Amino acid sequence: MRSKSDVAFTFIFVALLCLVPGSVCSAVSSKVTRHTSSSDLLKGKAEQIVIGSRGTIQLGRSAESVIKEFKGFADVWSVNSVVLSGGTIYFGTSPNGGIYKYSLNKVTKIYPQETDRSESKDEEANRGEADGEVVKAEERLSNEHIFAMATDVAGRLLAGISGKECKLCRFEGGRMEVLFEPTDANYIFAIAIDDGGSIFLGTGPEGKIYRLDSLGRKSELVYDSRDKNILSLAVGRDGWIFAGSDSRGLVYKINPRTKQTMVLYDSDQPEVTALLSSGNSSSGPGLYAAATSAKMVQAQAQFAASTLAQPSPGRPETETEKDESPSGAQSGLKLEIPNTETPKPAKPTQAPAPARKPPKPTQASHIYRITEEGFVTDIFSETAVFFCLAEQDDKLLVGTGNSAELYSVDPASEQEAVVYEDEQASQITAIAVSGDDVYIGTANPAKLIKLGSGFASEGTYISDLIDAGQPANWGKLQLEAEIPQGCKVLLCARSGNVKDVNDPTFSDWSDPVEITEPVQLSCPLGRFCQYKLVLQSPAGVESPLIREIAVASTVPNLAPRVASVAVARIAGTGKQGAFKIGYAAKDDNGDKLVYRIDFRRLGRTSWIELKDELEASSFEWNGKTVEDGRYEIRITASDERSNTTSTKLTGSRVSEPVVVDNAGPIVRDMKMTSARKDDRQLRVFEIEVSDELSAIAKLEYTIDSHADWTGTVPEDLVYDTTQENFIIRIDVKDDLPTGDHVLTVRVSDAVGNTTYKTFDVNVD
């Protein structure tokens, strides 16, 4: 095999251009959307595709259903365990406790074995239905379960039967032989065989562990836990037994000779569903534990979605870095994407870099690696239910629900990927590895799937919707990818204006086009775009590897939008009659905007320019430069500095009417009369005040003074109109002795304009 340096590739460099036909302008530039991370890609839909944790796309493993048609599977809901012995595959099921053997392309049911009855259960059910009888499903269910199976030192099948009759059976000579029936157990959840052939059983509902000799004859209780069930077992080096419990989620370490027991780890999860003892050379010997909870809640899924967007902090360096290029590629095509990102200034580090993964909720599922010294590392976590665990080529395989995904986890490089997802099933409940092949059992519906070492011949990835923000012209799609010879990547695309992929107004998918260079997307003008990549590998030996996808879009030049205009009189000394004009505008193209301000008196049609070529978002206007009246202010935003004279556009907005009032109120009339009240002689002054534009706000008076002002209120007791009447009553004896006097009145309107008026008053 030639090294990577010897592989010949074709390099394609194509610049991203402005994608509006027939016009080139600085304002209309391509926006490039890049899908570079797993968080971007996992929002889409994949079929026979693996999305790597580094944001890569390649074909998934080839998969075939081992059992295509088998009438005896009618009442099987779940394949709970799979065991390989030589060329034979055994699998145990629920809810009828059936055990099946698959050999030489033939399926045989070996438990429960057929009796001498003339009819089998299936035949009896079919006959009943044919005779018009209704056969209820629960009448056909025996409520037995095969949760655990293994092979003993002689290669014979061992199966745990769970239900009303709990027993350990051995299949030999074409028949099932009962080896052990625990009287205090209903379930056998786990079976493990040590190097000496001893058989260990994890049971429930009293959480006990039993040991039988290699012949299955002599039994003894090894450990009686406080947990409800022992769900998993594993045999470590030096004969230690590891056990995972239900209800408290503990990992026990047990010496079967002395029965000395210790809690190796408390997982903080209710269930330890799987244990795997590994002698992995890259990370050293250790124990892997799958801790999970079936009680997943929506908040955990939301948490997972938020953490997907975290930037990748890189990866650890391993002793043998594995190249992700398609293995064995003798020739092929390499595509690269030109750089279009604006450099960002470097910022000094203010704090230590964040951890690779923030802590997830306690009810998320985790894979822990526990060393011989008892040190624990959380190597993988996901908001899914972990059912089973296996090892292949120094990588862990994790079967999950409720999306029936099979994860591949590399403990050394901290990389994980979904290598298989079943479209029909809800859970992957069992895994068995045989060389390059992997057999998985599923539930709801029950299936037995064989994953080969090669790649699927074809896989499809459909992206999430790409939002341009406005109806856009969609440009070229580019890949950073390596496509081995004989493999292809095809592209389809469509667009629409509704954020719903199922909306019928979306355009049809374009015809598939092979990607050998940047490809123009063939879809109409639309706000949303969706692309479909079809990866093909007819031989299944190699797969295209896509590292990055870039999609260019162009929104045609849009007119700026002036969102608001506000005009307010400026308060304070030295600003009499001044107004602040504030405005806000938006341009969907991101163009640089300049503003023009015009005004006109209400009722007139012509606008008068106040200021042009203004870049600031506010302006002070001296209202004393115009006559009093009601005015409108118009703000016009222009994107001319980012466009040509033929493409520039404007947008405008007119303010609500604003009052320019620089004149004070007018004292129109004053009458003086005499009156008596309570033996007091009074002078009564009736004053009429008005203002053309603003409401009267205050009237004060003083007699023979300029400082001692006395306030009063209108005759109707409320300052609210432009015309008010006031009555001032003054005691002649106290305030107006005989002689000449001066009555001074100070009147202000609502905007602060003030008028002074004096009256000569003579008292006989």
Q: How does pLDDT run across 151-174, given as a tens digit for each residue? A: 999 999 999 999 988 999 999 888
Q: Which of 593, 627, 660 is a domain's end point?
A: 660
Q: 373 in a domain, yes or no?
A: yes
The pLDDT tens digits of the residues spanning 403-438 come to: 888 999 988 877 888 888 888 889 999 999 988 889
Q: Do residue 373 and residue 276 come from a single domain?
A: yes
Q: Do residue 550 and residue 565 come from a single domain?
A: no
Q: 192 in a domain, yes or no?
A: yes
Q: Do residue 31 and residue 83 come from a single domain?
A: no
Q: What's the mean pLDDT when you consider all of the chain? A: 83
Q: Is residue 353 very low, low, confident or very high in pLDDT (cuts 50, 70, 90)?
A: very low
Q: Can you give the CATH number for the domain in which 268 is found? A: 2.120.10.30
pLDDT of 210 above 70: yes
Q: 452 in a domain, yes or no?
A: no
Counting Cβ atoms within 10 Å, is residue 718 exposed (0-12), middle (13-18) or buried (19+)?
Answer: exposed
Q: 448 in a domain, yes or no?
A: no
Q: Which two tokens stand for residue 78?
A: 């779940």
Q: Do residue 118 and residue 194 come from a single domain?
A: yes
Q: 165 in a domain, yes or no?
A: yes
Q: How many CA atoms lie within 13 A of 331 on its CB side?
A: 2
Domain range for 675 is: 666-763
pLDDT value of residue 313: 52
Domains in the chain: how many in total? 4
Q: Is residue 600 very low, low, confident or very high in pLDDT (cuts 50, 70, 90)?
A: very high
Q: 82 in a domain, yes or no?
A: yes
Q: Do residue 291 and residue 377 come from a single domain?
A: yes
More confidently predicted of 299 and 735: 735
Q: Is residue 320 very low, low, confident or very high in pLDDT (cuts 50, 70, 90)?
A: very low
Q: Can you give the CATH number for the domain in which 677 is found? A: 2.60.40.10
Residue percentage of the chain with pLDDT more than 90 = 55
Distance CA 19, CA 15 (A): 11
pLDDT value of residue 315: 55
Which residue type, as a one-letter code, is found at position 761?
V
Q: Do residue 503 and residue 637 come from a single domain?
A: no
Positive or negative: CA dihedral 21, 27, 28, 32? positive
The pLDDT tens digits of the residues spanning 254-268 come to: 999 999 999 999 998
pLDDT value of residue 284: 53
More confidently predicted of 4 and 314: 314
Q: Which of 537, 554, 571 is a domain's end point?
A: 554
> Quick check: 601 and 630 in contact, CB under 8 A?
yes
Backbone region of residue 697 per phi and psi (left: phi > 0; alpha: psi in -120 to 50; beta: other values): alpha
Q: Do residue 647 and residue 670 come from a single domain?
A: no
Distance CA 214, CA 217 (A): 8
Q: Do residue 525 and residue 578 come from a single domain?
A: no
Q: 77 in a domain, yes or no?
A: yes
Instruction: Name the phi and psi angles at 3, rounded to 5.
Output: -75, 170
The pLDDT tens digits of the residues spanning 45-60 come to: 988 888 877 789 999 8
pLDDT of 140 above 70: no
> Quick check: 332 and 326 in contact, CB under 8 A?
yes
Q: Is residue 17 very low, low, confident or very high in pLDDT (cuts 50, 70, 90)?
A: very low
Interior angle at CA 311, CA 309 and CA 315, nearest 5: 130
Q: 198 in a domain, yes or no?
A: yes
pLDDT value of residue 342: 53
- Between strands 618-622 and 650-654, the pairing is unpaired
